Chains A and B, each alone.
Chain A
Amino acid sequence: MHALLQVIVKEFLQLRQDKKMIPVMIVGPIMQLLALGYAANMDVHDIPLLVVDQDRSPASRALVDRFTGSGYFDRVGEEDTAAQVDPWLVRGRAQLALVVPAGFGGDVEAGRKPQLQMVADGSDANSAVVGLGYASRIVAGAGAEIAQARLTPALRSLRPGRIELLPRVLYNPDLKSRWFYVPAVLAMVLMLVTMMLPSMAVVREKEIGTLEQISVTPLQPWQLIGGKLMPYVIIGLLDTLLITGVARLVFGVPLHGSLLLLLALSVLYLLNTLGLGLLVSTLVNTQQQAMMFSAFVLMVPMIYLSGLIFPIENMPRLFQTVSYVIPVRYYGIILRGVFLKGSGLAMLWPEALTLLLTGIGWLTLASLRFRKRLD
C-alpha cells in the first residue's frame, strides 16, 4: 500500500512540475462547458429576411408585418423582383426571402387562392429548417385568419367538435436545449482528462525511458498501474464537481438526483475511460500517437455514436448496434437521469452494472497488455 501511495505522490508531483498543466485541466473543461452551454442552441431569432413585395396592397403589408413582428425574422432589405433574390443569398446577407407576387391582395379579397413564395438558403440546412418552420407557422396563422373570415355563419353551426392537444413536458418544461447539452459536456471532459491525458502520461515515460527504470524497481505492476491512474480519478471527480457547480449556477441546469450517486456512478465510468486510456498507451509509441488515437479513434466516434449529442434512434441500424459497446452511451443515460429526471439507483442499475463490468473488462485487458510489455 505504501508503494502505491508513493507512485501516486510521484505522479502528482510530476503533474505539478508541468506547471501550466493544472490550470489547463481546470480551464479546459470550463471553456468546453461554456462553449457548449452558450453556443449549443438551435432556437434562432432574427433570421435575416429579404422582402420582395410585388403586390404592395394592405393584405401583403399585413403579411410582411406578421413576419417582422414575430421576432423570428429581421428584415434586412427589399427588392422588386424575385430574380434579385439570388445575390442576397449567395453573399449570405439574407437567409430567407419572402416573395409576395402581384395580385396577392386581390386574390384574398375575391376569395381566390393567393400565391406566396418563400426562398431559403439551404447551404446552412439547420437554420433553413428552423426558418422554414417559423415561416410555415406564420403562413398557417394568416391562412387560418382568412379561412375564419370566409367561414359563413351557416358553416359555424356545423359544430364539428375539436380535438385539443394538451402537452405536458416532463423534466425540462421550457424545452431548453442547453439542459440537454450541458450534462453531456461532463462525459466529454472526463473522457479527455481521464482517457487521453493518462495515456499520454504513460507514453511520455516510455518516450523518456523512465518506464524502464520503474519496471526494474520492486514495484508490483498493479501498484504502478494503480498509482499512475489514481491521480486521474481524483482529478476526474474534481472536474465532475466543478462542472456540476457551473452547470447549476451559470446555466441553471437542475440536479434533481443525488450528487453522491452522480459521483459514485462517475467512478464506474472512469474505470472505462482509464482502462481505455491505458490500453491506448500499450498500442502506441509516441505521445502524439496516443493523443491522435484517443482523440480520433476513440473520442470522436464515441461522442457521436453515444447519443450524447445526436439521438441514437435517428441513426442507421448498424450504428445503433455499435452504440451498445460504447461506455458513454450508458453514462449519458445516467447523467440525464440523475440531473434532469432525478433517477436513483433503482432506475439506473442496469447502466451502472454495465459500466462496472465493461470497466473491469477494459482495465483487465489493458493491465495484461501493459504487464506483458513491461516484462
Chain B
Amino acid sequence: MSPRKVWAIAKKELKQASRDPLTLGMLLGLPTVMLLMYGYAINFDVRHVPLAVRDLDKSRESRELVAEFVNSTYFDVVSDVAAGDDLDRFTERRIAKVVLLLPEGFSRTLERGGSAGVQLILDGADANTATTVLGYASALVGAANVRRIQARAAGRLDLAPIDYQPRVFYNPELKTTQFLVPGLVGFILMLTAVLSTALSVVREKERGTLEQLRVTSLRPSELIVGKTLPYLAISLMATVLILVAARVLFGVAVRGSYLDLFVATVIYLIGALSFGLLVSSLSESQAMAFQVGMVTSMLPAIFLSGFIFPIRAMPQLVQALTYAVPARYFLVVSRGIILKGGALSEYTRDMGFLVLYASVVLTIAYARLTRREV
C-alpha cells in the first residue's frame, strides 16, 4: 500500500465531501442537534398529568385527598366532572389522562373506620405514563392512610420503621442527558460511518466512476482505505462536537481518560466503516444502501444496544441477537469511561468483541469488494 496513493484518494474524497456542504454540515451538526433534542425534549419524569375530578362527597376529607393529588405536582386538575358526564369522553378525547372519582359517603365510611373506595380511571393507551401515574396515585393514597393512622395514634407509632437510604453512583440526579450522551456517541457514529461510506461508494457505482478508478494503477486496498479515511476523520470530529456540546450545555464531563475513549472509538469506527463497505458491496442504488444501512445498523444501534431500552427486558431470542450489535459493547465501554471514570483495562471482554467484530466485517467486506474487481 502506498501512502501517497491512499492520500490522493482521501483528498479526492474530502474535496467531493466539501463540495456538498449541506451533507457535510448535517453530518457534523446532526449530533449536536440530536443531543439538544434528547437533552431538552426527552424527559422520563412524568409530571403535571391532566386530571379530571368528580367529588360527589364534597367533604373536608375528600377535598383534602384531591388537594394532595394537586400539591404533589404530579397532577393538574384540568376539569371537574359533572354528575351526568360521560366519563369515557374525558379519556377518549384526551381531555384528561386520569379521572378521580370520590363517591358519596366517602368521609362517612372513613369516620366509621371502614374502607372507603376511591376510583381512578386511567388512559392506558400510553402504558408507560399510566404505569408511573398508577405508582404516584398508590403512593399518595398510601401516604394519606399513614397520616390518618398517625393522627389517631398521636406519635405512638413509627410507620416507616426502616431507615432506607438509596444512593445513585455516577449520575446522582438520574439525569437523562448524562446517560444518553455515551449512547448517542455510539448511535451517531454508527449512522455517519456506515451511511456515509456506503453511500459514497454506491454513488460512484451509480455514476460509473468506480469503474474508472478500478482501471487506474490503484490497488484495491489503497482505494478502500483512501475512501474510508475521510469518513473516519469526519466521524471523529462529530464525536468531539458531541462531547464539547455535552460539556458546555449539559455539564457532562468525561471522567476517564481521553486516550482510552479515543482508542475505543477508533476500534468501534473501524467496525462501522467496514460495515458501510459491506453494505455498499450489497447495494446497487443509494436508496437501497440507505435502507439496508438503516435496518442493519441504525435500528439495532438504537433499539438493540441497551441505549434506550434495557437488554434484559427483551425476549431471549432478541437478547441473543444483541450480541451481534457492536453498539452494545461500545455502549458499555463508553458509559464506563465517560460516566464511571473506568479504564479501558476493565472492559477487556467488550473491547475484545469490538476488535473481533471489526476484523470479521473488514475481512468479509474486503473480500467482497476485491472479488468484484476481477
Contact = CB atoms under 8 A, between A and B. Distances in A.
Interface of A: 18, 20-21, 24-25, 27-28, 31-32, 35-36, 38-47, 86-87, 89-92, 108, 113-130, 132-133, 135-136, 139, 142-143, 146-147, 150-151, 155, 158-173, 175-180, 192, 196-197, 200-201, 204, 284, 286-289, 291-293, 296-297, 300-301, 304-305, 310-311, 313-316, 319, 333, 336-337, 340-341, 343, 347
B319 to A, nearest CB: 10
A289 B40 CA distance: 27
B178 A164 contact: no
B131 A123 contact: no
Nearest to B97: A313
Interface of B: 20, 22-23, 26-27, 30, 33-34, 37-38, 40-50, 65, 88, 91-94, 109-131, 134-135, 137-138, 141, 144-145, 148-149, 151-153, 156-172, 174-176, 178-179, 182, 199, 203, 283-288, 290-292, 294-295, 299-300, 303-304, 306, 308-310, 312-315, 318, 332, 335-336, 339-342, 346-347
Contacts of A86: 169
Nearest to B298: A295
Nearest to A296: B30
A116 B284 CA distance: 61
Given A170-B124, A311-B129, A347 B93 contact: yes
Ordered nearest first, which 5 A-B pairs have the shortest CB separation?
A159-B113, A122-B171, A172-B124, A161-B110, A122-B168
Contacts of A161: 109-116, 148
B118 A164 contact: yes
Given A146-B162, A197-B287, A293-B26, A165 B308 contact: no
A90 B318 contact: no
Contacts of A35: 299-300, 303-304
A313 B48 contact: yes
Contact of B163 (A47, A115, A124, A343): A115
Contacts of B335: 92, 123-124
Contacts of A28: 291, 294-295
Given A120-B166, A314-B47, A18 B284 contact: yes
B192 to A, nearest CB: 10
Contact of B346 (A91, A143, A176): A91
Contacts of A43: 313
Contact of A128 (B116, B141, B158, B174): B174
Contacts of B340: 89-90, 121, 123
B313 A45 contact: yes
30 contacts: A36-B303, A40-B303, A90-B346, A92-B335, A113-B161, A121-B169, A122-B170, A122-B178, A124-B335, A125-B44, A129-B44, A147-B157, A160-B149, A161-B112, A161-B116, A166-B118, A167-B134, A170-B88, A170-B91, A175-B130, A175-B134, A177-B128, A288-B286, A291-B286, A296-B30, A304-B41, A311-B128, A314-B43, A314-B44, A340-B124
B209 to A, nearest CB: 13
Given A20-B284, A284-B22, A132 B166 contact: yes
B150 to A, nearest CB: 9
A110 to B, nearest CB: 12
Contact of B125 (A24, A155, A340): A340
B80 to A, nearest CB: 19
A172 B130 contact: yes
A94 B26 CA distance: 38
A155 B153 contact: yes
B311 to A, nearest CB: 8
B167 A180 contact: no
A349 B109 CA distance: 44
A165 B141 contact: yes
Contacts of A172: 124-125, 127, 130
B170 A300 contact: no
A148 to B, nearest CB: 10
A329 B158 CA distance: 49
A53 to B, nearest CB: 15
Contacts of A122: 168-172, 174, 178-179, 339
A317 to B, nearest CB: 11
Nearest to B348: A91
A87 to B, nearest CB: 8
Contacts of A113: 158, 161-163
Nearest to B128: A177
Contacts of A347: 92-93
A310 B40 CA distance: 12
Contacts of A119: 166-169
Give the interface centre of A43, A89, A288, A296 by most chain B CB atoms within 10 Å.
A288
A168 B119 contact: yes
Contact of B145 (A162, A179, A204, A289): A162
A41 to B, nearest CB: 4
